[in-house]
């Protein structure tokens, strides 16, 4: 565990320290597009944050390759090199897209190529554990097809959810944390060495997200861009492919008696692609809804719009920060709920806890429609939006009876204000020259602005 924590900290430190210089480079390079109709930020913000994240990935893998225990992952498996090859390709594509806006179909083809590069180096699905049956081997073309589909779907799911400051990095960081605990338990809890690469990938991914988040929280100083969102999506998909398609259930037969007994006993853990899909459930739902919504309108599935889940949260009245926290909450609930269920599927307390937390999440979603009000004695200690409406309105109304300048009545009586304004106008009508006109204009503008003859 200490070596994993060291790898995580090195990745986070390198990512954090490089993000500042990368921001300056993005500004100089002109990777700071103008505000688009679907954007929620109000001023141009540089992209290319994925550059810092990629070098953080490289630093984490480099450190891990020189550690005593993690070095075995590089000696016994080619998966770290496969991940680095695919990540470099998808990262270069993202950098070009952040600068030049590459066509969506071209990006889709490049994502498939990146998945193919990893497959050629051994990072692919070899078999699937089926509940009640055991390990089922898949043909090479079936495994390759499933691998490509999982990689492309995960990349685009993360890319689609990257619409608010800190949203994608936080959600992927939460998912990577759950996946790290999941794969670490399989490796050290059941002695399955095939889970070692996925555990390493998850630790590095956590470091990438944690190191970038301080620069990306609202208001963001830099965006990760496609160079970052597609990169972390690929690393997350690689972790899923590694632990799901490379882990042989037969290796656990010594402890549990047989393939069928093993699969039944660890049903929540070894359902094919269960954990990879649960940890990206919210981005996946956003992706599916976006495709259905756009095709229903006769648009391309890749046409950008403002109908994503985070956009809808803003439309119903949530603030930027609250919308991000709500998305964090649901991601953590699904990911860690599945993780807890995989540890002890027989406990009804886990199911009950998930149900209760889901009710809390629904209450948070409806919070703009039901804003609680603090009692009067506590109004001084809460933000203004939680105070009673009458108190807020009273504080916004002009004070009646406020002294007015000489020649004008006090505020609060419109008739006296009009009479006072007429008297003041008549008084200056006899003034000749420019001075008289200036005085008249000043009195008139003052009366219009105050709406009751008062001045500020």
For 248, the 3-state DSSP assignment is coil
Alpha-carbon torsion (406, 407, 413, 418), positive or negative: negative
Rounded distance between C-alpha atoms, residue 277 and residue 338, angstroms = 10
71 marked as part of a ligand binding site: no
255 marked as part of a ligand binding site: no
For 449, the 3-state DSSP assignment is helix
For 128, the 3-state DSSP assignment is strand
Rounded distance between C-alpha atoms, residue 380 and residue 297, angstroms = 49
Q: Which residue has the tokens 């991601």?
A: 331
Q: CA-based Rg of the chain, rounded to a whole angstrom?
A: 30
Closest CA to 163 of 330, 319, 313, 311: 311
Give Cα separations from 258 to 132, 182, 210 (angstroms).
Answer: 11, 22, 41
Backbone angles phi, psi at 298, to 5 degrees: 80, 20
CB 123 within 8 A of CB 80: no
CB 192 within 8 A of CB 247: yes
CB 161 within 8 A of CB 25: no
Residues written for the chain: 456
Contacts of 202 (CB under 8 A, 6+ apart): 176, 177, 179, 180, 183, 239
Backbone angles phi, psi at 135, to 5 degrees: -80, 130
Rounded distance between C-alpha atoms, residue 71 and residue 3, angstroms = 10
Closest CA to 152 of 225, 208, 93: 93
Binding site residue list for Mg(2+) = 159, 226
């Amino acid at each position: 565990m200490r070596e994993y924590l060291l790898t995580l900290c090195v990745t986070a430190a390198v990512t954090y320290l490089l993000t500042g210089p990368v921001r300056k480079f993005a500004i100089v390079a002109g990777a700071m597009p103008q505000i688009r109709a679907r954007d929620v930020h109000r001023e141009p913000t540089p992209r290319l944050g994925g550059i810092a994240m990629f070098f953080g990935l490289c630093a984490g893998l480099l450190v891990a390759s020189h550690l005593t225990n993690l070095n075995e992952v590089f000696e016994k498996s080619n998966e770290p090199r496969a991940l680095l090859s695919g990540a470099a390709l998808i990262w270069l594509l993202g950098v070009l897209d952040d600068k030049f806006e590459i066509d969506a179909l071209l990006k889709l083809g490049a994502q498939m190529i990146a998945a193919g590069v990893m497959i050629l180096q051994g990072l692919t699905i070899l078999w699937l554990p089926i509940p009640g049956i055991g390990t089922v081997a898949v043909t090479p073309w079936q495994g390759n097809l499933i691998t490509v589909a999982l990689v492309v779907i995960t990349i685009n799911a993360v890319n689609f959810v990257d619409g608010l400051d800190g949203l994608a990095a936080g959600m992927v960081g939460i998912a990577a944390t759950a996946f790290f605990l999941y794969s670490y338990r399989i490796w050290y809890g059941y002695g399955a060495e095939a889970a070692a690469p996925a555990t390493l990938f998850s630790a590095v991914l956590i470091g990438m997200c944690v190191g970038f988040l301080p620069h990306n929280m609202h208001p963001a100083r830099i965006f990760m861009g496609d160079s970052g969102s597609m990169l972390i999506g690929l690393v997350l998909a690689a972790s899923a492919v590694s632990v799901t398609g490379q882990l042989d259930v037969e290796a656990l037969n010594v402890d549990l008696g047989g393939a069928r007994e093993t699969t039944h006993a660890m049903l929540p853990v070894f359902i094919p692609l269960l954990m990879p899909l649960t940890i990206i459930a919210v981005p996946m739902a956003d992706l599916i809804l976006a495709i259905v919504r756009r095709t229903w309108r006769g648009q391309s599935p890749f046409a950008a719009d403002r109908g994503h889940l985070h956009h809808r949260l803003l439309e119903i009245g949530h603030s930027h920060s609250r919308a991000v926290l709500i998305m964090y909450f649901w991601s953590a609930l699904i990911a860690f709920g599945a993780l807890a269920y995989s540890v002890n599927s027989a406990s009804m307390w886990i199911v009950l806890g998930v149900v209760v937390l889901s009710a809390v999440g629904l209450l948070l979603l409806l919070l703009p429609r039901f804003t609680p009000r603090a009692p009067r004695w506590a109004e001084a200690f809460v933000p203004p939006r939680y105070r009673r409406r009458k108190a807020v309105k009273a504080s916004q109304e002009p004070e009646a009876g406020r002294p007015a300048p000489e020649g004008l009545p006090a505020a609060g009586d419109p008739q006296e204000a009009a009479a006072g304004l007429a008297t003041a106008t008549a008084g200056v009508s006899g003034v000749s020259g420019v001075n008289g006109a200036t005085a008249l204009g000043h009195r008139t503008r003052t009366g219009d602005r105050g709406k009751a003859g008062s001045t500020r």
